[in-house]
Structure 1
Amino acid sequence: MDDDTGADAALLRRLANGDRAALADAFDRFAPTLVRSAWAVAASRQDVEEIVQDTFLTLWQQAATIDPATSALLPWLLVVCRDRARDQARRTERSADGRTQRGDRSRARRTKAVTHDEH
């Protein structure tokens, strides 16, 4: 077992036991890489922060299910981060689409009202 694998296993054990300091340690160790990864997809700093936060929340919630013998922690986190970034991009896109559609309907109502008033 190499140093990273051993460190991952110890960190995962601590996380699985509810050790909040382990979450802080994981954040210190992996956040810079996850932030860079999130920026590849995210549109804003706020999105990046949310993606990284969600990634660590998922780690906290699922630490007991991660087997360090079969899953290195950084690749696992990067997959979760990528998935959260894609989810965020879809939410942002849907939100923008919703605003556009609402704006179109609102303009249509105003146009209809103006047209109706002119007749």
Structure 2
Amino acid sequence: MTDVLGLPDPDDVRLRDGLIAGAEPALAELYDTYGPVVFGMALHVTRDRGAAEDITQDVFVDLWRRPEHFDPHRSPLRSWLLLIARRRGIDWIRRRDARESVRLATMDPAPTLLEDDVLASTARKQVRKAIADLPAPHRQAILLAYYRGLTYREVAKELDIPEGTAKWRLRNALRRIGAQLRAEGFEDRLNFE
């Protein structure tokens, strides 16, 4: 509990110091104390037990690896862990939805008419051309995210750029692709915004 004067909780400071020192008992205590609430938050956000388990593990592994990211003077440990779990859950949902959109977009349903087959082929060619017309940094980000299925965080690591830059490149690339496809008459079929 934080003091009325805004002092950090001594247990939060002790646990963080233990993690920084590499003390496994501190991690065990941290997990025993906060594991269930972190799991609960992840489950609430994702509605997927397996994803919630993975997110819970990731939250604690990341804290073990980089305990200096938590500052007990800025927020209580419980609140900080719940915020991280919530963000990871939202990222998981976005990743799942993006993969499903890509999967649906790349499915090749059997065309009922030759015209449908020609239109689908033309659309795929236009998308490939729009991607090829992107500046190299944007193209790399799109290929990693949509063809290799990486998250924006993984794209950032792969390209050795900040996460914000990876997000911006992906968002900007999708806007450019959408604009180019709309200019070529595909506005009714695609939504890249």
Residue 89 of structure 2 is matched in structure 1 by: 85
- Are 1:9 and 2:4 matched, yes or no? no
Provide the C-alpha distance between the structure 2 equivalents of 1:38 and 1:53, rounded to a whole number of angstroms: 11
Equivalent pair of 2:9/2:76 in contact (CA under 8 Å): yes
Q: Offset at 1:95?
A: 1.4
Residue 28 of structure 2 is matched in structure 1 by: 24
Provide the C-alpha distance between the structure 2 equivalents of 1:65 and 1:51, rounded to a whole number of angstroms: 17
Provide the C-alpha distance between the structure 2 equivalents of 1:12 and 1:18, rounded to a whole number of angstroms: 10
Q: Offset at 1:101?
A: 1.3
Query: Which consecutive residues of structure 2, in runs of 5 or more, have no partner in the other structure?
Result: 116-193
Residue 40 of structure 2 is matched in structure 1 by: 36
Provide the C-alpha distance between the structure 2 equivalents of 1:16 and 1:44, rounded to a whole number of angstroms: 32
Provide the C-alpha distance between the structure 2 equivalents of 1:6 and 1:68, rounded to a whole number of angstroms: 9
Equivalent pair of 2:63/2:69 in contact (CA under 8 Å): no
Give the TM-score, by structure 1 length: 0.80
Q: Which one has more relative contact order, counting CA pairs under 8 Å at least 6 apart?
A: 1
Equivalent position amino acid for 1:78 in 2: L
Equivalent position amino acid for 1:58 in 2: D
Provide the C-alpha distance between the structure 2 equivalents of 1:45 and 1:70, rounded to a whole number of angstroms: 31
Count of aligned positions:
110
RMSD: 2.2
Equivalent position amino acid for 2:29 in 1: D
Residue 59 of structure 2 is matched in structure 1 by: 55
Alignment identity in percent? 30
Counterpart of 1:98 (choices 97, 102, 110) is 102
Provide the C-alpha distance between the structure 1 equivalents of 2:21 and 2:75, rounded to a whole number of angstroms: 19
Equivalent position amino acid for 1:101 in 2: A
Query: Which consecutive residues of structure 1, in runs of 5 or more, have no partner in the other structure?
Result: none
SS in 1 for 2:39: helix
Provide the C-alpha distance between the structure 2 equivalents of 1:65 and 1:47, rounded to a whole number of angstroms: 23
Q: Offset at 1:26?
A: 0.8
Q: Offset at 1:39?
A: 1.5
Equivalent position amino acid for 2:58 in 1: D
Residue 111 of structure 1 is matched in structure 2 by: 111
Equivalent position amino acid for 1:23 in 2: L
